[in-house]
């Protein structure tokens, strides 16, 4: 009873009960332990455009870690100028997501990393074997794969990339510093915005470490229908055209359901939503309030919530550039015109 009372007191006094500072460690699967050699290999692979058929697109092309982990485009551009249908989610802090892709079609970072190389409108490699053959031809890769995993395989490529991605954690956002006790880390406006974020109802879905829902087991998606309430913004931004998770499950209950996206670094990962149709964070807040909560926010409410969301922009740790392993005397993509 005493514990219960304490909880009530905290709930009443702290508007951020459901919100958490970023933790020190990341969830790591037991079959893919971290090592510095594996992370370094994964970084090379992440930045290597030779994972695409014509040598022009790397993981980093759409998930730019030197920026905010995305390409800041509505949808991404793959090989031969082809455009995808959905906005590239940021790779930063993706280690905290319990399911991957907008529609949750991959359970883990490892599973996710196996998608884009073979997607014809992304990196366009014809088969897993074609990727393995190419990597095996590069002595520097072959040597690293053999030392770390024993062999070059497509699954091992994905494991290395996932290990690197687990190092991509932004730290010390004003919000994190505030939650750890530095009450001056957030502006008064941002603190007001945090309260509104909870009062209005945003945090009923956008909670937890990554503002992407509760701490579920890896592979367990936290999905929500979007949009829920009809309003003119939905047609304006074509937000209901893509059926979302239904395209994976073909279950009618999944029509227009999506993984709840993270709000960390949301201010620097415009444009917004699965189709990237909304370019302004303020407008994105208005869309969410109208479509999910059936509320029309005042300009002040939007401004304050935006100030709070801006406080979720963390520090992006300095990294060294990878050195992509060379092959000597010819080019793997040189014969492709």
Binding residue for its own copies (CB under 8 A) from 14, 199, 230, 331?
331
Cα–Cα distance, 224 to 266 (Å, whole number): 19
Of 254, 273, 248, whose CA–CA distance to 115 is shortest?
A: 248
Region for residue 172 given its phi and psi (left: phi exceeds 0; alpha: psi -120 to 50; beta: otherwise): left
Give the active site residue among 122, 165, 283, 301.
122
To the nearest whole angstrom, how small is the minimum distance from the Cβ of residue 316 to its own copies?
6
Binding residue for its own copies (CB under 8 A) from 41, 47, 262, 263?
47
Q: What is the C-alpha radius of gyration for the chain, rounded to an integer number of angstroms?
A: 21
- For residue 34, state whether it binds its own copies (rule: CB under 8 A): no
Binding residue for its own copies (CB under 8 A) from 9, 279, 294, 296?
279
Site for its own copies (CB under 8 A): how many residues?
A: 53
To the nearest whole angstrom, how small is the minimum distance from the Cβ of residue 264 to its own copies?
14
Of 94, 57, 91, 95, whose CA–CA distance to 76 is shortest?
A: 57
Binding residue for its own copies (CB under 8 A) from 20, 28, 72, 231?
72
- For residue 145, state whether it binds its own copies (rule: CB under 8 A): no
Nearest CB to its own copies, comparing residues 67 and 248 = 67
- For residue 268, state whether it binds its own copies (rule: CB under 8 A): yes
Residue 265, CA distances (Å) to 172, 234, 258, 277, 326 in order: 12, 24, 19, 18, 35
**CB neighbourhood size of 57 (10 A):** 24
Residue 315: active-site member: no
Task: Annotate 30-51 with three-state secondary structure.
Answer: CCCCCCHHHHHHHHHHHHCHHH
Nearest CB to its own copies, comparing residues 50 and 196 = 50
- 289 by DSSP, 3-state: which? helix
Give me the active site residues, please. Answer: 122
Interface residues with its own copies (CB under 8 A) are 47, 49-50, 54-56, 61, 64-68, 71-74, 77, 79-82, 267-268, 270-271, 276, 279-282, 306, 310, 313, 316, 318-324, 326-337
């Amino acid at each position: 009873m005493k514990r219960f009372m304490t909880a009530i007191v905290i709930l009443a006094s702290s508007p951020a009960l459901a919100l958490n500072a970023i933790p020190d460690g990341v969830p790591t699967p037991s079959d893919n332990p971290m090592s510095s050699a594996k992370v370094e290999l994964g970084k090379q692979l992440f930045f290597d455009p030779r994972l695409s058929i014509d040598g022009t697109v790397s993981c980093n092309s759409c998930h730019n870690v030197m920026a905010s982990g995305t390409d800041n485009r509505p949808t991404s551009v793959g090989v031969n100028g082809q455009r995808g249908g959905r906005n590239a989610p940021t790779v930063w802090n993706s280690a905290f997501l319990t399911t991957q892709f907008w529609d949750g079609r991959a359970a883990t970072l490892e599973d996710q990393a196996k998608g884009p190389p073979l997607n014809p409108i992304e990196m366009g490699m014809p088969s897993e074997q074609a990727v393995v053959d190419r990597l095996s031809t590069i002595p520097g890769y072959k040597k690293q794969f053999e030392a770390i995993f024993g062999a070059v395989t497509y699954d091992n490529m994905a494991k290395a990339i996932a290990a690197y991605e687990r190092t991509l954690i932004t730290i010390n956002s004003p919000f994190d510093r505030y939650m750890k006790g530095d009450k001056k880390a957030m502006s008064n406006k941002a603190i007001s915005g945090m309260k509104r974020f909870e009062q209005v109802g945003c945090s009923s879905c956008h909670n937890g470490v990554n503002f992407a829902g509760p701490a579920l087991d890896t592979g367990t998606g936290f999905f929500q229908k979007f949009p829920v309430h009809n309003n003119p913004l939905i047609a304006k931004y074509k937000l209901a055209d893509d059926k979302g998770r239904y395209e994976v499950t073909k279950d009618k209950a999944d029509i227009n359901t999506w993984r709840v996206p993270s709000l960390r670094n949301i201010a620097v990962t415009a444009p917004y939503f699965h189709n990237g149709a909304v370019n302004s964070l303020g407008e994105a807040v208005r869309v969410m309030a109208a479509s999910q909560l059936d509320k029309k926010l005042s300009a002040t409410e939007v401004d304050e919530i935006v100030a709070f969301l801006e406080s979720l922009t963390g520090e992006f740790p300095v990294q060294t550039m990878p050195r992509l392993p060379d092959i000597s005397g010819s080019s793997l993509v040189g014969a492709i015109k």
